[in-house]
C-alpha cells in the first residue's frame, strides 16, 4: 500500500500547514456547501474537519485504487468477503425485501414473537411470558440493547419488557433476579457458536437459580429458556426445546447480527412494525452505499475521513458523542464494530502490515461528556476526530438545549477563544463532524447503524484486512480457561507464566 503513489500524495497533502488550519480552510466561500451531504433522514456536515476538496478527491481515488466499488458489489452479491472462513457476509440480505433470506428470517422471528405475545408459550412455571432477559455478550448484546433503548419509546404497553445480562458477575445476576418477575420471564441465550464462555456461564447460573424455585417443571412445551444461535445442535444438546430455538446463518457476523434472529429482543420490545421499519432504514442506506459515487457516498466519506486522520494526519483516537439519551449505547456498539472489525495487524493474505488500522474508539452521551472529558478536547494539546450526533425530532426546550450544546461544542472547538495572559484561553482549530438525524424513529436508527457498518467495511477494503473475523479476541479467553483448569487440578506451577501473573493468580486463590 505504501508503494501506491496516491498514498505518497496524501502524505504530502497532509503535511501542508493550511490543511490543518480551519481558519485558512474557511477562506473558501462555498466550503460549507461542498462539505455537507444528505441521505434520507441523515444530514452530514464535514466542514469543520481538517480536509479540503482536493484531499477528498485523492481519498476517493485511493478508494477506487483499493477496488472498493467491486468489493461493495461482492458484499451485496453474496460473494466470499470473509476470507478467513471463506464465507460471504449476508447481513444486508436480511434487510432486502427482494431477497429470500429476508422473508425466511422474518417468518421465523415473527412466528415465535406472536406465540410469546399471544400468551401461547408458557414458562417452566406454567405462566405466560411477560418479560424477556437476553443473555449474550458482544454482538449478541450491544446491537439489540442499543436499538431497544433507542426505539422503545414507540412501543405499546402490551409488548414485552426486555432486560440484558452480559457480563459474568454474580452481583449483576442477583440484582437482575431482584428486578424481574421470574415466574413470567423467558431467558434468551444468544450466542452464535453456543460456546461463548461468558454467555454459557450466565445461562448455567440462571438455570441453577430457576431449579431452586418451587414449581419449576420444564417440558418440551413449557420452557423458561430459549436460544438464538447458528449452532442448533449445541443448543438442543443443552436442553433447549427445538421449538424454542431461533437459528441464524453462519454467514451473519456477530457484530453485524442485530438484523437476524439476534434481533428477537427488539421485536418483543418494540413490535414487528418497528423491526420492519428498522430493516427498511438499513436497506435505504444499503442502496445509497451501493449506488452513490464515492464523492457523495456518506458511509464511504466517513471511512475516508477515518483513513485521512489515522494514516495521514496521524491521529489515533476517535470519539462518538450522541446528544440524546436514547442513543447512549451507540458509542459502545461502534467501539466493538470498529475495533473488533478493523483492529488487525495482518492483511487478507496473512502478511504483517506496516500501517495503523483502527483508531481507539470511545464516547458517551454528549451532555454528560461535556462535564467529564471535554476539557481535554478544548485545552489539551492533542486533537482527534469527533462525531457529534443530534436528533431533530422534538421541539422542546430540553431537546433544543441539547442541540444548541452540540452545535456550540463544534463551533467552540473550531473557533476557540483568545485570552491574553490567561489560562482561560482555548486555541480552537480542533476538528469535528456533525451528523443530524431527522428523528429517532426505527427507520432512521436503521439508516444510522447501516451507515456505520458500511463505513467499517469500506475501511477494511482500503486497509486490505478482513473485518469479519476476530482472532485476537480468543487469546485472553484461552489463557483464562487454562488458568481455571490448572487451578482446579492444583497444577498451576506447571504453567509457563511470568512471575507477576502467577503471583496475581495465587493472590486470588489465597483470598
* CATH number, domain containing residue 361: 3.40.50.10490
Q: Name the nearest CA neighbour of 135 among 180, 168, 171.
A: 168
Residue 342 C-alpha from the chain's centroid: 12
Q: Quick check: helix, strand or coil at residue 226?
A: strand
Catalytic residue, candidates 40, 149, 340, 453:
340
Catalytic residue, candidates 8, 32, 417, 477:
477
CB 461 within 8 A of CB 79: no
Quick one: 163 and 233 in the same domain?
yes
- Predicted pLDDT of residue 4: 85
What is the rounded distance in angstroms from the CA atom of residue 73 to the CA atom of residue 50?
A: 31
Q: Is the residue at 16 inside a domain?
A: no
Domain that holds residue 189: 91-277
What is the rounded distance in angstroms from the CA atom of residue 136 to the CA atom of residue 327?
A: 20
Quick one: 318 and 441 in the same domain?
yes
The answer to whether residue 340 is catalytic is yes
The answer to whether residue 477 is catalytic is yes
What is the rounded distance in angstroms from the CA atom of residue 31 to the CA atom of residue 41?
A: 22
Quick one: 213 and 319 in the same domain?
no
Give the other-Cβ count within 10 Å of 185's Cβ.
24
CB under 8 Å, gap of 24 or more: what pairs does 232-238 form?
Answer: 234/193, 234/194, 234/195, 235/189, 235/194, 238/189, 238/194, 238/203
- Burial of 251 by CB count in 10 Å (0-12 exposed, 13-18 middle, 19+ buried)? buried
What is the rounded distance in angstroms from the CA atom of residue 162 to the CA atom of residue 59?
A: 43
- Predicted pLDDT of residue 155: 54
Q: Is the residue at 139 inside a domain?
A: yes
Chosen domain end from 249, 277, 305: 277
Quick one: 166 and 218 in the same domain?
yes
Ranges of the chain whose pLDDT falls below 70: 1-2, 154-158, 420-421
- Ordered alpha helix ranges (H), 120-271: 142-151, 170-179, 197-211, 232-237, 264-270
Chosen domain end from 227, 253, 277: 277
Quick one: 150 and 266 in the same domain?
yes
Quick one: 451 and 502 in the same domain?
no
pLDDT digits (tens, 9 = 90+) for 470-507: 888 777 778 888 888 888 888 888 888 888 988 888 88
Rg, C-alpha atoms of the chain: 24
Quick one: 240 and 336 in the same domain?
no
Quick one: 264 and 406 in the same domain?
no
| CB contact burial 342-378 (16+ within 10 A = b; e otherwise) | bbbeebbeeeeeeeebbbebbbbbbbebbeeebeebb
- Predicted pLDDT of residue 468: 95
Q: Is the residue at 76 inside a domain?
A: no
Q: Is the residue at 168 inside a domain?
A: yes
How many separate domains does the chain show? Answer: 3
What is the rounded distance in angstroms from the CA atom of residue 440 to the CA atom of residue 434?
A: 16
- Angle ∠(442,444,445) on CA atoms, nearest 5: 65
Q: Is the residue at 22 inside a domain?
A: no
Q: Is the residue at 137 inside a domain?
A: yes
Quick one: 190 and 223 in the same domain?
yes
Quick one: 253 and 339 in the same domain?
no
Chosen domain end from 277, 310, 333: 277
Q: Is the residue at 341 inside a domain?
A: yes
Q: Is the residue at 2 inside a domain?
A: no
Cell of 173: 445476576
The answer to whether residue 371 is catalytic is yes
pTM reported for the whole predicted model: 0.94
- Predicted pLDDT of residue 157: 46
Quick one: 96 and 238 in the same domain?
yes
Catalytic residue, candidates 157, 220, 371, 421:
371
Quick one: 221 and 301 in the same domain?
no
Amino acid at each position: 500500500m505504501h508503494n501506491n503513489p496516491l498514498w505518497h500524495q496524501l502524505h504530502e497533502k497532509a503535511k501542508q500547514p493550511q490543511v490543518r488550519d480551519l481558519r485558512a480552510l474557511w477562506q473558501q466561500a462555498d466550503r460549507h456547501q461542498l462539505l455537507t451531504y444528505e441521505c434520507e433522514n441523515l444530514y452530514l456536515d464535514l466542514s469543520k474537519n481538517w480536509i479540503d476538496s482536493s484531499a477528498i478527491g485523492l481519498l476517493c481515488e485511493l478508494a477506487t485504487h483499493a477496488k472498493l466499488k467491486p468489493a461493495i458489489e461482492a458484499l451485496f452479491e453474496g460473494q466470499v468477503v470473509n476470507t478467513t472462513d471463506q464465507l460471504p457476509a449476508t447481513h444486508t440480505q436480511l434487510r432486502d425485501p427482494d431477497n429470500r433470506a429476508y422473508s425466511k428470517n422474518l417468518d421465523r422471528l415473527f412466528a415465535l414473537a406472536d406465540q410469546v405475545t399471544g400468551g401461547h408459550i408458557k414458562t417452566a412455571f406454567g405462566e405466560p411470558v411477560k418479560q424477556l432477559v437476553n443473555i449474550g455478550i458482544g454482538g449478541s448484546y450491544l446491537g439489540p440493547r442499543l436499538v431497544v433503548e433507542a426505539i422503545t419509546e414507540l412501543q405499546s404497553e402490551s409488548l414485552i419488557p426486555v432486560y440484558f445480562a452480559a457480563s459474568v458477575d454474580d452481583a449483576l445476576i442477583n440484582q437482575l433476579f431482584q428486578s424481574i418477575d421470574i415466574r413470567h420471564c423467558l431467558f434468551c441465550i444468544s450466542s452464535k457458536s453456543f460456546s461463548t464462555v461468558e454467555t454459557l456461564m450466565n445461562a448455567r447460573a440462571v438455570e441453577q437459580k430457576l431449579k431452586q424455585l418451587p414449581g419449576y417443571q420444564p417440558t418440551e412445551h413449557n420452557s423458561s429458556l430459549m436460544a438464538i444461535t447458528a449452532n442448533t445442535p449445541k443448543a438442543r444438546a443443552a436442553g433447549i426445546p427445538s421449538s424454542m430455538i431461533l437459528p441464524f446463518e453462519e454467514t451473519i457476523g456477530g457484530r453485524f447480527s442485530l438484523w437476524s434472529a439476534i434481533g428477537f429482543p427488539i421485536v418483543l420490545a418494540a413490535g414487528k412494525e418497528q423491526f420492519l421499519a428498522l430493516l427498511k432504514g438499513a436497506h435505504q442506506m444499503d442502496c445509497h452505499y451501493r449506488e452513490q459515487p464515492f464523492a457523495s457516498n456518506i458511509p464511504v466519506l466517513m471511512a475516508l475521513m477515518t483513513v485521512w486522520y489515522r494514516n495521514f494526519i496521524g491521529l489515533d483516537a476517535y470519539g462518538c458523542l450522541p446528544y440524546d439519551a436514547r442513543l447512549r449505547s451507540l458509542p459502545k456498539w461502534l467501539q466493538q464494530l470498529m475495533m473488533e472489525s478493523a483492529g488487525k495487524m495482518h492483511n487478507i493474505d496473512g502478511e504483517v502490515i506496516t500501517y495503523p488500522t483502527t483508531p481507539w474508539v470511545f464516547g458517551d452521551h454528549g451532555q454528560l461528556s461535556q462535564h467529564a472529558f471535554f476539557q481535554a478536547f478544548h485545552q489539551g494539546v492533542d486533537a482527534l476526530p469527533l462525531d457529534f450526533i443530534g436528533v431533530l425530532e422534538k421541539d422542546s426546550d430540553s431537546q433544543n438545549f441539547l442541540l444548541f450544546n452540540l452545535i456550540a461544542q463544534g463551533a467552540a472547538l473550531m473557533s476557540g477563544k483568545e485570552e491574553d495572559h490567561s489560562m482561560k484561553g482555548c486555541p480552537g482549530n480542533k476538528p469535528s463532524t456533525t451528523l443530524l438525524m431527522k428523528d429517532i424513529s426505527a427507520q432512521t436508527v436503521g439508516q444510522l447503524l447501516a451507515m456505520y457498518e458500511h463505513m467499517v467495511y469500506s475501511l477494511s477494503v482500503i486497509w486490505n484486512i478482513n473485518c469479519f473475523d476476530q482472532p485476537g479476541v480468543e487469546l485472553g479467553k484461552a489463557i483464562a480457561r487454562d488458568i481455571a483448569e490448572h487451578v482446579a487440578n492444583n497444577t498451576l506451577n506447571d504453567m509457563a507464566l511470568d512471575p507477576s501473573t502467577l503471583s496475581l493468580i495465587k493472590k486470588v486463590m489465597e483470598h
